[in-house]
Amino acid sequence: GAVVSQHPSRVICKSGTSVKIECRSLDFQATTMFWYRQFPKQSLMLMATSNEGSKATYEQGVEKDKFLINHASLTLSTLTVTSAHPEDSSFYICSASKNSNQPQHFGDGTRLSIL
């Protein structure tokens, strides 16, 4: 079946650091990937839609200059949390599907802790 890999799985860093998270589709090409954030005891919230070869589409309230998304190839999207602060601590998850008619598969998630 389809596999999505996310790296790193856990990040602990100081306030002000920028953190890059990678999302890879391992056995299929994904023109679209999605980035979500989940705070404790809350549902996944879509942050942005990552489009291969073009700019990401951000959801309302998500700062595009804070959360930089690059989708340079059909198998890789990256999310960079710039100048991270403690309130950015969360579980970040990416997803992708072979096409929009197929269910999405999720990466393992990245647990980000900013001290």
Partner 1 sequence: RKEVEQDPGPFNVPEGATVAFNCTYSNSASQSFFWYRQDCRKEPKLLMSVYSSGNEDGRFTAQLNRASQYISLLIRDSKLSDSATYLCVVTGGSGNTGKLIFGQGTTLQVKP
Distance CA 35, CA 48 (A): 6
**Region from 21-29, 61-69, 81-89, 101-109 binding partner 1, contact rule CB under 8 A:** 101-109
Write the CA distances from 55 to 19, 31, 49, 75, 111, integer angstroms.
Answer: 20, 12, 9, 16, 25
> Does residue 23 bind partner 1 (CB under 8 A)?
no
> Does residue 105 bind partner 1 (CB under 8 A)?
yes
| 3 state DSSP class of 65 | coil
CA angle 76, 82, 85 (to 5 degrees): 130
Count of residues touching partner 1 (by CB under 8 A): 24
> CB 91 → partner 1: shortest distance, Å?
8
> CB 94 → partner 1: shortest distance, Å?
9
Query: Which residue number, 8 or 16, has a Cβ lying nearer to partner 1?
Result: 8
| 3 state DSSP class of 97 | coil
Residue ranges in contact with partner 1 by CB under 8 A: 6, 32, 34, 36, 42-46, 49, 91, 93, 95, 97, 100-101, 103-109, 111
